[in-house]
Amino acid sequence: MSALREKLLAIVASYATGDTAGLADAKSLRELPVDSVGMLGVLDEIEDEFGIKIGEGLQPETTIDDFEALVAGLIAARDA
């Protein structure tokens, strides 16, 4: 697991409303143990933590791999 994914999952865990034991096994945003209000907090914290703006367009079906790639791309663009 990448360091970025570990950090993202740690942020998600801090907003979790359910059991976080299988957090690393989630395949999509829908499978994360976070309600819709918690997900807003997750996204805000990720934006603050990494100095990025995620914007719109995320769907519950967005895979964790795609989400990690999106965040990595935004970080790379910020650093360019």
The pLDDT tens digits for 11-38 are 999 999 888 888 989 999 999 999 999 9
- Residues 59-78 pLDDT 10s: 999 999 999 999 999 999 99
Fold (CATH) for 3-79: 1.10.1200
The model scores a pTM over 0.75 = yes
Give all strands (DSSP E) within 8-58, no chain letters.
Answer: none
| Token reading at 28 | 């999509």
How would you classify residue 44: left for phi > 0, otherwise alpha for psi between -120 and 50, otherwise beta?
A: alpha
